[in-house]
């Protein structure tokens, strides 16, 4: 158990809908990262938050957004969902420094868009 | 563009034997490397990391080797066990840039 929690574990929805994925980092960690893992593309970095502020963006679509709250939990919002958004979405957290540190992953949310 | 890749997508090893998983990276500025293990239905699990000022680091039954000259990273697992069956990812990063780039993964299967 990495100490990172994610909810829900599974999510089934329809095209055009909007969903919110939630992540709670390990106790004491200030950084939260979001990744998308699909069968054909592996782990793709989406976005990184540190202590409530956006630090870096990766291959995140404009239909996707995220935020980190004062209690350090984070939410990833996916809107206007398409079939191709079906994937595993992982959250990871790392320690109190802003520099590169080991990231610990949550169990993921499996999203299926029908 | 920059990429992190693996030489072998699948690897089958007899239980008790040693296994070596390889990874090539192309960003010469990368100075931090991590190996993750991902079991079916679970998130990636940190195994071991190494910074570019080292060429070898050992953990429990695992050793990571870094060859900066040829931009090659390897993960050695000693005395493999059935629980080692998983997909292994290498990831690279640059100190000061929090983004990690992951390879596509190698599936390791331990044969009983």
Nearest by CB: B99 against A42, A48, A107: A48
Taking an 8 Å cut-off on Cβ atoms, the answer to whether B45 and A105 are in contact is yes
Measured between CA atoms, the residue of chain B closest to residue A34 is B99
Higher-confidence residue of A102 and A106: namely: A106
Report how far residue A33's alpha carbon sits from residue B35's, in angstroms, rounded to the nearest whole number: 17
Measured between CA atoms, the residue of chain A closest to residue B98 is A100
**How much is the pLDDT for B3?**
42
Task: Name residues whose C-beta falls within 8 Å of residue A112's C-beta, 6 or more positions apart in sequence.
Answer: A10, A11, A12, A13, A86
Give contacts of B89 with chain A, Cβ < 8 Å: 42-43
Q: With a cut of 50, say whether residue A61 has pLDDT above it.
A: yes
Across A82-91, average pLDDT: 96
């Amino acid at each position: 158990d990495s100490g990172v929690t994610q909810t829900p574990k599974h999510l089934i929805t329809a095209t055009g809908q909007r969903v919110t994925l939630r992540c709670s980092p390990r106790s004491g960690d200030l950084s939260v990262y979001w990744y998308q893992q699909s069968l054909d593309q592996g782990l793709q970095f989406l976005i990184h938050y540190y202590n409530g502020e956006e630090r870096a963006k990766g291959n995140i679509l404009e239909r996707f957004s995220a935020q980190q709250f004062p209690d350090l939990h984070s939410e990833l919002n996916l809107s206007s969902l398409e079939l191709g958004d079906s994937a595993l979405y992982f959250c990871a957290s790392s320690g109190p420094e802003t520099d590169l540190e080991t990231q610990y992953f949550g169990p993921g949310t499996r999203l299926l868009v029908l | 563009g920059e990429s992190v890749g693996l030489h072998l997508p699948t690897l089958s090893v007899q239980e008790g034997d040693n296994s070596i998983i390889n990874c090539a990276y192309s960003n010469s500025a990368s100075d931090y490397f991590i190996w993750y293990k991902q079991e079916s239905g679970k998130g990636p699990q940190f195994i071991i990391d190494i910074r570019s000022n080292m060429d070898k680091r050992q953990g429990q039954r695992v050793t990571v080797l870094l060859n900066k000259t040829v931009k090659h990273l390897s993960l050695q697992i000693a005395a493999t066990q059935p629980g080692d069956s998983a997909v292994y990812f290498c990831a690279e990063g640059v100190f000061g840039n929090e983004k990690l780039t992951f390879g596509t993964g190698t599936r390791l299967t331990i044969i009983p």
